[in-house]
């Protein structure tokens, strides 16, 4: 007797409405003569493969200043672009082309074969015959044993993201040049990578792909080490109103552990969201994949804006070192104290 087919998942009505809205915006943009392009983001790779990241968009043009930087870019502009669902994208790696399909939000996230030397290597993407857009992937060598995974919001950049109204202000209204880095974090990350050449820095955040260009400019402007960003796509899924940022982080941590079994990660976060609980669970599941955990303590003002701080558990009996500090300088000192970095 033939088995009955599995029941189809019921798609949340809000997800269908969002899809129809973006389809309408795409039709209007194309009617005005606008065409899609690829916003290509840094990816990463390993022995014989790369993970390419990007998004297919029809984006309004923002003129740069004479110096090449974008002036007075308000956060809302990041959300004004029209995502192109299920776009056909051609990715070229070391002279070999691969045809892939973006998801319904226009996001490109694909693991493709490709043999590249360790370090930063070029990759190109194109859509609908557009000019190829070049990005880079950081290939992690098989001899690399140390890497860094860092949160962004309130860890390297002051955002007070958990509180909805403050988050909306930071995301949609605030000029991107007004965003402030957490003191000492760029110096700490630069010191860690300088002492271990070839070590990756991966920025793992619950932020939306819409703000990826803004975050990339922020990191470059404040001299943070270059690295891939693993963000998420805001909005409804087939079965829930909003994607789970915590699940997004947990899934990518597990993926990194599987992809790079030879790497032990320094996990950096803050006490304003769920980083302590998230890193505790990951360190318990994969103690051999974690070199140490560093949690930045929010200031009293930041904690109020963030809706309070999460209590950091007692980790004195943990299998991996845990340190806390209010800024990059304090964390660097404590990491030196547990042997993650050599003292000056």
- Rounded to 5°, the CA angle 265-266-268 comes to 130
Same domain, 164 and 282: yes
Same domain, 285 and 251: yes
Residue with tokens 């070192």, as numbered in its chain? 321
CA distances from 213 to 49, 243, 275 (A): 25, 21, 24
**Dihedral sign for Cα atoms in the order 225, 226, 232, 234:** positive
Q: Is there a domain that residue 4 lies in?
A: no
Backbone angles phi, psi at 14, to 5 degrees: -65, -35
Average per-residue pLDDT for the chain:
82
**Where a domain ends, among 90, 113, 139?**
139
Give the three-state DSSP class for 117: coil
Same domain, 131 and 177: no
**Where a domain ends, among 139, 160, 189?**
139
Residue-wise pLDDT tens digits, 25-37: 767 877 888 889 9
Same domain, 98 and 165: no
Q: Is there a domain that residue 42 lies in?
A: yes
Residue 48's CATH number: 2.60.40.10
Distance of CA 67 to the CA centre of its chain: 27
Element (H, E) at 250: helix 245-259
Same domain, 18 and 134: yes
Is the model's pLDDT at 290 over the cut of 90?
Answer: yes
Residue with tokens 């990578």, as numbered in its chain? 193
Q: Is there a domain that residue 343 lies in?
A: no
**Where a domain ends, among 109, 139, 169?**
139
Q: Which residue has the higher pLDDT, 267 or 306?
A: 267
Residue-wise pLDDT tens digits, 121-154: 999 999 998 899 999 999 999 999 999 999 998 8
Q: Is there a domain that residue 5 lies in?
A: no
The answer to whether the CB of 228 falls within 8 A of the CB of 260 is no
Q: Is there a domain that residue 66 lies in?
A: no
Residue-wise pLDDT tens digits, 220-268: 999 999 999 999 876 544 444 445 678 899 999 999 999 999 999 999 9
With bands split at pLDDT 50, 70 and 90, how would you rate the model's confidence at 175?
low
Give the three-state DSSP class for 118: coil
CA distances from 13 to 8, 19, 144, 232, 339 (A): 15, 10, 46, 21, 52
Q: Look at the chain and report how many structural domains it folds into.
A: 2
Distance of CA 86 to the CA centre of its chain: 21
Same domain, 153 and 173: yes
Q: Is there a domain that residue 2 lies in?
A: no
| Range(s) of the domain holding residue 121 | 13-24+35-60+72-139
Same domain, 46 and 161: no
Q: Is there a domain that residue 223 lies in?
A: yes
How many CA atoms, within 13 angstroms, populate the side-chain half-sphere of residue 25? 19
Same domain, 172 and 248: yes
Same domain, 265 and 154: yes
Specify which of 62-71, 155-164, 271-280 reaches the highest per-range mean pLDDT: 271-280
Give the C-alpha separation, 56 to 40, whole Å. Answer: 8
Same domain, 198 and 326: yes
CA distances from 137 to 114, 201, 228 (A): 11, 12, 8
pTM of the predicted protein model: 0.84
Q: Is there a domain that residue 3 lies in?
A: no
Tell me what pLDDT residue 288 has.
95
User: Where in 8-154 does DSSP place strands (E)?
Assistant: 37-46, 49-58, 82-83, 88-93, 96-101, 107-113, 119-127, 133-139, 146-150
Same domain, 106 and 183: no
Same domain, 165 and 281: yes
Task: For the chain, count helices (H), then strands (E).
Answer: 8, 16
For the chain, the distance separating the N- and C-terminal CA atoms, rounded to the nearest angstrom, is 73
Residue-wise pLDDT tens digits, 60-94: 665 555 554 444 444 445 566 788 999 999 999 99
């Amino acid at each position: 007797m033939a088995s009955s087919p599995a029941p189809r998942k019921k798609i949340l009505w809000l997800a269908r409405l969002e899809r129809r809205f973006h389809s309408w915006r795409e039709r209007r943009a194309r009617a005005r003569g606008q065409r899609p392009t690829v916003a290509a983001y840094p990816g990463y790779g390993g022995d014989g493969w790369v993970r390419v990241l990007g998004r297919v968009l029809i984006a309004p043009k923002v003129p740069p200043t004479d110096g090449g930087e974008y002036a007075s870019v308000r956060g809302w502009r990041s959300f004004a672009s029209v995502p192109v669902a299920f776009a056909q994208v051609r990715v070229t790696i070391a002279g070999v082309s691969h045809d892939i399909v973006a998801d319904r939000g226009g996001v490109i996230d694909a693991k493709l074969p490709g043999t590249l030397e360790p370090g930063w290597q070029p990759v190109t993407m194109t859509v609908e015959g557009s000019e190829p857009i070049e990005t880079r992937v950081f290939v992690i060598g098989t001899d690399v044993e140390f890497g860094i995974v860092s949160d962004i919001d309130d860890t390297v950049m002051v955002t007070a993201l958990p509180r909805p109204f403050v988050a909306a202000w930071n995301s949609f209204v605030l000029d991107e040049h007004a965003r402030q880095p957490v003191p000492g974090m760029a110096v700490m990350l630069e010191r860690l990578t300088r002492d271990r050449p070839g070590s990756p820095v991966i920025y793992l955040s619950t932020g939306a792909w819409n703000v990826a260009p803004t975050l990339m400019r922020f990191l470059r402007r404040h001299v943070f080490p270059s690295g891939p960003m693993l963000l998420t796509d805001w909005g409804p899924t087939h079965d829930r109103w909003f994607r789970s940022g915590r699940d997004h982080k947990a899934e990518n941590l597990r993926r990194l552990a599987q992809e790079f079994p030879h790497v032990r990660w320094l996990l950096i976060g803050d006490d304003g969201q769920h980083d302590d609980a998230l890193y505790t669970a990951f360190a318990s599941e994969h103690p051999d994949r974690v070199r140490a955990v560093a949690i930045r303590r929010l200031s009293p003002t930041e904690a109020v804006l963030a809706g309070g701080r999460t209590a950091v558990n007692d980790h004195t009996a943990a299998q991996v070192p845990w340190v806390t500090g209010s800024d990059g300088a304090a964390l660097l000192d404590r990491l030196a104290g547990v042997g993650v970095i050599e003292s000056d």
